[in-house]
């Protein structure tokens, strides 16, 4: 996210935090967890808020999605992230966030097959978001599957957000291969 947008997001989050007493109970949990995790950087406090939120609303998948993709992935607790993503999927099987968090968590754990299985489960439910392209691209890269990487690049064509994200990934792959000049050009393409 560009610096201006991060600053604006932090300002908006801080303002929401100041006004949180006017929000519903669930909204207060969301605002507090987001504020602690992103503005103050207090991941432990954000985790405690999400855990309390999950106990207060046991049928709500959002605190589990937050714990999975917002807290545990950030703090490197990937096994815990897997558990929370699975809980989010159990509570809301037609929401993409659980599958994405599950796939990413398995990817960080080195479980490429498990990450692919998470994406297959989402696909079986006819769920698709641009982030899935990135995850499939990353998996293909780690498997040295050039054809798989090319498929995801082709899938991203015409989708401006996904196209930019894939270009960014391609720049990293080029840099990883020592092709720095090409990586710079690709990175500029991703930004423009």
Does the pLDDT at position 9 exceed 70?
Answer: no
- Residue 185: CB atoms within 10 A of its CB come to 14
Radius of gyration of the chain (CA): 18
Confidence of residue 160 (pLDDT cuts 50, 70, 90): confident
CA torsion, ordered 60, 61, 66, 68, to nearest 10 deg:
140
pTM value is 0.87
The DSSP-derived string for 55-117 is HH-TT-SHHHHIIIIIIITTTT-HHHHHHHHHHHHHH-TT-HHHHHHHHHHHHHTT-HHHHHH
Confidence of residue 21 (pLDDT cuts 50, 70, 90): confident
The tens digit of pLDDT for each residue in 77-89 reads: 999 999 999 999 9
CA distance 134 to 141: 10
The tens digit of pLDDT for each residue in 66-112 reads: 999 999 999 999 999 999 999 999 999 999 999 999 999 999 999 99
Output the pLDDT for position 5.
57
Burial 114-132 (b: 16+ CB within 10 A, else e): ebbebbebbeeeebeebbb
Mean pLDDT calculated for residue range 144-152: 96
């Amino acid at each position: 996210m560009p610096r201006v947008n991060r600053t604006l997001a932090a300002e908006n989050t801080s303002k929401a935090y100041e006004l949180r007493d006017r929000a519903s109970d669930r909204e207060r949990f969301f605002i507090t967890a987001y504020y602690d995790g992103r503005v103050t950087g207090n991941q432990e406090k954000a985790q405690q808020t999400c855990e309390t939120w999950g106990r207060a609303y046991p049928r709500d998948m959002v605190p589990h999605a937050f714990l999975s993709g917002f807290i545990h992935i950030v703090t490197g607790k990937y096994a815990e992230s897997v558990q929370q993503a699975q809980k989010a999927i159990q509570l809301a099987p037609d929401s993409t966030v659980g599958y994405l968090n599950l796939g990413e968590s398995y990817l960080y754990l080195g479980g490429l097959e498990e990450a692919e299985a998470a994406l297959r489960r989402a696909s079986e439910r006819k769920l698709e978001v641009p982030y899935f392209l990135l995850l499939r691209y990353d998996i293909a890269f780690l498997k040295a599957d050039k054809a798989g990487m090319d498929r995801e690049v082709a899938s991203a064509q015409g989708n401006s957000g996904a196209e930019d994200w894939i270009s960014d990934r391609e720049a990293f792959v080029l840099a990883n291969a020592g092709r720095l000049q090409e990586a710079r050009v690709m990175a500029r393409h991703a930004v423009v």
